[in-house]
Each structure stands twice: as C-alpha cells, then as structure tokens.
Structure 1
C-alpha cells in the first residue's frame, strides 16, 4: 500500500540530466570478399581506330569545301558565302531572287570583300554584276551602313535613284535599275541568329 501511495503521489518529472560520455568503440567487422581487378586498357588499339576517323573527317571537310567552291562556284569570307547567279534580272528582281534563296544582294562593305567579289566576277569571265549598294548613299540596299568604304572610281552620282554595278576591276558604277544583268547574293554562315538556310541552286 505504501508503494502504491508513493507512485500515486509522485510529482512532475525533473529536467534532463547532463549527457553522458561516448561509449567504447566496437570491434572491427569481418573482412569483405576480395574484388576482381578490371582488365588493362588497350589504349593503343583505340588510338589506331580514332586516327583513321580523324583522317576521314578531314577528307570529308575538304570534299565539302570542293563542292562549295568549285561545283557550286561559291566564294567565302570568314562570316559569309557569296554566290554569283547567272540569271539576267532587273535590280528589284535580283534582290527578290536573293531573298528567296535565303540571302540578300552582296554588300561589299570592306576593301577585302570588294576585291573577293571583283575577282569572282573576273574569274567567271564577266565584266559587271548587280550588288546591293545604293547610288549616292552611304548605305546598302538593305539600309545597313557601309562604314567608311566606298568603291566609286570618281565621285558618286548626284542622285540615288540609280542602282549600282560592281565591275571586274573592283570599282562601282551607277546603272539604270531596269537593266538586266547577273548578280551576286550573299548568305551568313551563322545559323544561330535565326537565318534561313540558303538555297544555292535554282
């Protein structure tokens, strides 16, 4: 009865005591099973396989360059391709034709590009083609700046109503926009800017 009385009359629990010391570290477990080592890499064998692949890739790149530069007659700079279209058209028709191919009329905005296009004309046994430059203007036909380069042999014409032809000598000359002649289209190389893939053949 006295124990029951003490249990029933016990008060609330006290605060937790101080944390005790860590117990002793247990014994080490049994040693695991022995693993089997993998086979040694035969790296020389893979090098022999990869080497010919690299050579074949280089050959493929050269073949593609041959197709672009010879069969299609393309010229290129670091950023652009150029295609001389041997279809005589008036200026507006030539401009639209380049757009349908995914490009614009060529814009010789630097001396280097101008010379590449002039050589292109000469090597194609032509004397002149349409390019995307406005007469008496510092802009090309797309409204973009020409920077500081100009290919006029003398002073530019006093009116911007005429169009511009690039001669095989590298100089510019004004011509009537309703004249029919061959023309050069240009296409950007980068496709990450949302450009349309060029249609290089008709």
Structure 2
C-alpha cells in the first residue's frame, strides 16, 4: 500500500506541471469583449429645457445706504391742531439803560398836536377797514357788538361740533335775538348752504328746548317751533331762510361757532 502511494505521487506531480504549462500557454475562449481605442470627441449637443426653479436661498447681506434724493416741494399746510396749554411766565428781564434827558418843554403848540391827532385818526380808520376786510372777506367771520361768528365747513356730528367749537375757544352758535338769527341766516345763504347745526337741543317735555350753555329757550313760539318731540331728531339746525328745525344728532353737517368779544378774544379764537 505504501509502495503504490509512493509511485502515484510522481505521476500526480507530472500531471499538475503539464496542466499549469497548458493553462499558461493556451488561449482560453470567453464571452467578454475587450474595450476598443478611444474615439474622437463628439459635437456639442442642443440646449436642454430650462430646469425647475430651485428653493429660495438665504437673504444676502444688507447693502450700502443709498444717496439722499433731492428735497421735494413743500406740502400743503395741515389743519391747525387744538390749542396747547399756556406756558409758564418767563423771568423778568434786566432793566434797560436810562434814556437821555429831553429838551426843556415849551408852551402848548395846539396846531401841531391837532395835525398829529388828525393823522392818527386817519391811520386808525384805515386799520379798522383793513381788519374788517380781513375778518369778513379773508376769514369769513361775521360779528355783532358782543360776539364773533365763524362758519366751519367741516361736516361733523353734533357732539363733535360742540367739542370742536370748545377747542377753538368758543361754543356752538346760540342765536337769542332776531337780529342775530338774520345775520347767521344770511351767513349760511352767502356760503351756498341750506342748514347748519346751532347750539340748541330738544330737552325733556317740561323743559322743551335747551341751549348748549344749559339755559332754556323761553319763547319757542317766537321761532315758529311747535312741540319739542316731533320724532325728527334731538338736535336743532338753522336754515338759510332763518327757520329752525329738528335734525338727527348723529347726522354730519356744517356748523357755526360763536366767540364772545373780550380782551383775550384774539388769543383764544382759533381759526
């Protein structure tokens, strides 16, 4: 058994050597295709369709501040606001230097002073005419001996009209005489209006009509007013014909403010 095994080993060795030589020298067929040589570069293809828009990227950094543009034209003047509170009294200034001593007086030169007084009267008359023109034509104010009247052409409700006249330094107009009523009616007609609010409201049945200052209207029949509850509204309006009528307090329309003449009228009247 050992002799046979020993005799087979040289035979197996020779067989493996021949097989190795055969495998290394003989070309074995296969289905694989070897790559060819590199071809010439192809031409540029046609442009493809535009792709879809991608997601919005993060915001960029803030740019530099641009140059200032040219200054625009001045805008229209706005409405005057309410009157501010009165400021504190300022400190008293330093006394000025005394003036030079005047020349000695002489006897009265009446003719000279009459000429000066006459010229002052002329200047005062011109000033009054200028003020009258300013009030009646430029500002549109009407006046009586004791009061000024201003027609406000800004449609407001009755309560807002009361507040606006108060902010101007006055109150809603309260005609108490036929002369004043005629003056205001002409004022309305010259402004091409039909009706405006006045400071009069319908009160309770026992009181009748009440002015804006809380005083009652004593003789409603003089103003052609009948019952105080006609169902047409609790406020009063004055027409261009001079007649009074009831109107809804929530309706917006023009109104007339009145201002009492006194030393501080020029300081409190806000146009």
What is the TM-score when the length of structure 1 is the normalising length?
Answer: 0.72
Structure 2: runs of 5 or more not aligned = 1-104
Deviations 1:125-180 (A, max 9, x none): 00000001112533212212333255345543346961111111111111111111
In structure 1, what is the Cα distance between the partners aligned to 2:146 and 2:217? 16
Which position in structure 1 is the counterpart of 2:237? 165
CA RMSD between the two structures: 2.4
Match of 1:16 in 2: none
For residue 211 of structure 2, give the secondary structure of its aligned residue in structure 1.
Answer: coil
Aligned partner of 2:261 among 177, 184, 189:
189
Deviation at 1:59, TM superposition (A): 0.9
CA distance in 2, matches of 1:67, 1:89: 26
- The superposition leaves residues 7-59 of structure 1 with CA deviations (integer Å, 9 ceiling, x where unpaired) of xxxxxxxxxxxxxxxxxxxxxxxxxxxxxxx8543221222222111110111
Rounded Cα–Cα distance in structure 2 between residues aligned with 1:188 and 1:160: 31
Do 1:153 and 1:171's aligned partners in 2 also have CA atoms closer than 8 Å?
Answer: no
Report the structure number with the largest CA radius of gyration: 2
Instruction: Mark the CA change 1:39 to 1:170 in structure 2 (over 3 Å): closer, same or farther.
Output: closer
In structure 1, list runs of 5 or more residues that go unmatched.
1-37
**TM-score, structure 2 length as denominator?**
0.54
Query: Structure 1 pair 195/60, CA: closer, same or farther in 2 (3 Å)?
Result: closer
Q: 1:39 to 1:135 in 2, by over 3 A?
A: closer
Determine the C-alpha separation between the residues in 2 that align with 1:77 and 1:139: 23
Paired residues, number: 162
Taking the aligned partners of 2:159 and 2:138, their CA distance within structure 1 comes to 27
Q: Tell me how far apart the structure 2 counterparts of residues 158 and 81 of structure 1 sit (CA, whole Å).
A: 32
